[in-house]
Amino acid sequence: MSIPEPNTRPFQVHLRGVVELLGRSIYSSPGVYLRELLQNAHDAIAARREEFADFAAGHGGRIEVIPPAPGEKRLRVIDDGIGLDAREVGELLATVGRSSKRDLLDMPRGDRLGQFGIGLLSCFMIADEITVRSRSARGGEPVEWLGRADGTFSVRILEGEEAGAVDVGTCVEFTPRADDAALASADTVLTLARRHAEYLPVAIDVRRDGGSVRINREPLFAHPLKVEPEALLELGEELLGVRPSEAIPLSVPSTGTTGVAYVLPFAPPPGARQGSRAYLSGMLLGESVPELLPEWGFFVRCIVTTTGLHPTASREGLIEDSALEETRVAIGETLRRWVLTMAATRPGALAHFLDVHHLGLRAVAVHDDELAALVLPHLRFETSIGTAPLRELVAVHPRLRYAASVDEFRQLAPLAGTGEPLVNAGHVYEEPLLRRAAELMPGVVVERAEAAELLDALAEPPLEARDLADGLESRAGRALEGLDCVVAVRSFSPGDVPAVYVTDRRALRAARRRDVAAEAGGLWGAMLGKLDAGAAREPAGRLCLNWANPLVRTLAEEAVPGGSFDSVVRVLYAQALLAGHHPLRRQDRAVLTDSLGAIVRLGVGLAPEA
């Protein structure tokens, strides 16, 4: 087709509206113009390779980016792709990718990364005029298209010397507006080209300082099983800024997705979903694409390339569709196999992994069944007999009792026997995780420990010493009169602990209600008082004296004078309060001070104070 003379006619879309849509609603920044031009050039080369066997056999295909030289203003992007003739220029550029709105939001097909019309129009975000010169590989005269930001374009056939200067392929050039000139500077162009297109399977040269810089790199992550592990780790260090703990190869053949998941050597914020770097056939889609990973995969960051996932209209992210879901599930399965294999063959590596990421794993496992089932058996929990992985605990003790706070654990741990250890669930996420264990691990029973139950389970003194123990309980109870505490004598380990003070949650709540009611008075005090009306009043705490301790047996067996006996018992009471991290009330502090004073006076031979 020939056009006898230049002609000017309006675009078939509202150009200013399209450019505004591109700049404000689709593209993240005007700097994507170079990515769009490189995509167009790549597609043109792919089309020529597909149609012309000799071009493909000769490994043809090259893109050259020429930033403005000193004293110049125009930027050029040149490719040796299939090119355009006059008819194609009129159809493709006038209608913005063949069918206007459709191609504005259409997805690429096969090895095509973009849509020519829309990609070209992105240049209007930084320029007022764009010139395209092209010669088709199918033959015909070269053609020039000149588009303007006012919504018009012109097309003309090139002849004579102008035609001779145009090779097969396409050259796009424009002069950026003054306030956007930095986006076309040599340094910025080189940075943008490397960022977006260093893994494209087409030679790309950026002219710089009188020479050219080839930006292409081998995409090692595209075939991770064929690459030395050290090379993958070095790539991960470049990606993360720190050397990753491990590199896990990824492959999802059904969506043409391959890559590497790098295990972070540091703990990210709990629940933070890591963004992955994703490439579409070698062209960067995004440096932080979180949709690729399952929500529980916060401990890795991926770099992948894909041919089967579908980009958004901006080509800076991925559409949430069945292909993406399939890929996400497959990556999650790969991560799951990695954890299970490590647990079976490298327990030391698993321990290190859990040490680094335990808090995040706990946070996500609380509400994520998939992760909970995977890592919960391997998480370590503190117990009254030491720290151990949950799977080892439940293998020996399928009935787990736990203390809901650290202070409660400190109080109750000495009372727990080795047959039924007490688990410390006072740290963040521990209690809900134990409850998840009861749901997800067959045969596991989880209960909150009660002080009364633990005391009842302790061994009583030997039968021959039962009368002495009963007498000790009575005398110690009288010594602590007025302190809202009862005394029990039991035998437990370790023997060097003379006494333990424990509180019953129900009795403690009742005691607090009584204290508040007494202070509040009036209507509010009366209402609180009615809550306990008719209920048997229970003491707030229990002092458990250890019959296995020599000092306790001495108090029971020897005729200790009343004043000295009372002082020792009260000191044991205060010591147990402090050891269990209980707050000391005013009367508790007074008891401790008076008892220590009495013991000191006895020790130096002074008479007790009246």
360 located within any domain: no
Do residue 49 and residue 175 come from a single domain? yes
Q: Report, as an integer, the average pLDDT of 182-203.
A: 94
476 located within any domain: yes
Query: Residue 585: which CATH number?
Result: 1.20.120.790
Structural domain count, the chain:
4
Residue 590, domain extent: 460-504+540-603
pLDDT of residue 530: 58
**Which has more pLDDT, 513 or 218?**
218
Do residue 179 and residue 156 come from a single domain? yes
Backbone angles phi, psi at 169, to 5 degrees: 130, -160
Q: Report, as an integer, the average pLDDT of 125-137.
A: 92
Do residue 168 and residue 256 come from a single domain? no
Q: Report, as an integer, the average pLDDT of 297-305.
A: 94
Do residue 316 and residue 171 come from a single domain? no
Do residue 332 and residue 251 come from a single domain? yes
Peptide bond into 494 cis (omega under 30): yes
pLDDT of residue 17: 57
Give me the count of residues in the chain: 610
pLDDT of residue 316: 82
Query: Residue 238: which CATH number?
Result: 3.30.230.80
349 located within any domain: no
Query: Residue 386: which CATH number?
Result: 3.40.50
Is 164 a residue whose pLDDT tops 50? yes
Q: Any long-range contacts for 306-310 (C-beta under 8 Å, 24+ apart)?
A: 306/255, 306/256, 306/257, 306/258, 306/278, 306/279, 306/280, 306/281, 307/111, 307/255, 307/256, 307/257, 307/280, 307/281, 308/254, 308/255, 308/256, 308/257, 309/255, 309/256, 309/257, 309/278, 309/280, 310/107
Determine which of 148-157, 218-227, 389-398 has the lowest per-residue pLDDT on average. Answer: 148-157
Determine which of 17-31, 39-53, 135-149, 397-411 has the lowest per-residue pLDDT on average. Answer: 17-31
Do residue 426 and residue 443 come from a single domain? yes
Q: What is the mean pLDDT of the chain?
A: 83
Is 28 a residue whose pLDDT tops 70? no
Do residue 66 and residue 202 come from a single domain? yes
Query: What proportions of the chain, in percent to the nearest 5, are helix, strand and coil?
Result: 45, 20, 35
Q: What is the pLDDT of residues 266-299, one digit of tens each?
A: 998 766 777 899 999 899 998 988 889 998 899 9
346 located within any domain: no
Do residue 430 and residue 472 come from a single domain? no
Q: Kindly indicate the confidence band of residue 367, based on its pLDDT and cuts at 50, 70 and 90.
A: confident
Q: What is the pLDDT of residues 369-404, one digit of tens each?
A: 888 888 999 999 999 989 999 999 999 999 999 998
17 located within any domain: yes
Q: What is the pLDDT of residues 537-566, one digit of tens each?
A: 567 788 999 999 999 999 988 878 877 888
Whole-number percent of the chain with pLDDT over 90: 46
239 located within any domain: yes
Determine which of 130-134, 178-182, 295-299, 602-606 has the lowest per-residue pLDDT on average. Answer: 602-606
Could you give the CA distance from residue 64 to residue 44 in angstroms, rounded to a whole number?
Answer: 13
Could you give the CA distance from residue 303 to residue 250 in angstroms, rounded to a whole number?
Answer: 9
Instruction: With beta carbons less than 8 A apart as the criterion, state whether 127 and 176 touch.
Output: yes
Q: Report, as an integer, the average pLDDT of 27-53.
A: 88
352 located within any domain: no
Domain end position, chosen among 166, 190, 214? 214
Could you give the CA distance from residue 54 to residue 61 in angstroms, rounded to a whole number?
Answer: 12
pLDDT of residue 202: 93
pLDDT of residue 111: 45
Q: Kindly indicate the confidence band of residue 531, based on its pLDDT and cuts at 50, 70 and 90.
A: low
Q: Report, as an integer, the average pLDDT of 224-244.
A: 94
Do residue 158 and residue 18 come from a single domain? yes
Q: Kindly indicate the confidence band of residue 580, based on its pLDDT and cuts at 50, 70 and 90.
A: confident
Do residue 394 and residue 487 come from a single domain? no
Question: What is the torsion angle, in degrees rounded to the nearest 10, for the CA atoms of residue 88, residue 94, residue 97 and residue 98?
Answer: -70
Whole-number percent of the chain with pLDDT over 70: 83
Query: Residue 119: which CATH number?
Result: 3.30.565.10
Contacts of 288 (CB under 8 A, 6+ apart): 275, 276, 277
pLDDT of residue 100: 31
224 located within any domain: yes
The residue among 14, 311, 321 whose CA lies nearest residue 151 is 14
Domain end position, chosen among 164, 198, 214? 214
Pairing, β 152-157 against β 143-148? antiparallel
The amino acid at 18: V
Is 577 a residue whose pLDDT tops 90? no
Helices (H), 302-346: 322-345
Do residue 130 and residue 205 come from a single domain? yes
Is 115 a residue whose pLDDT tops 70? no
pLDDT of residue 110: 42
Is 312 a residue whose pLDDT tops 70? yes
DSSP single-letter state for residue 46: H
Do residue 140 and residue 267 come from a single domain? no
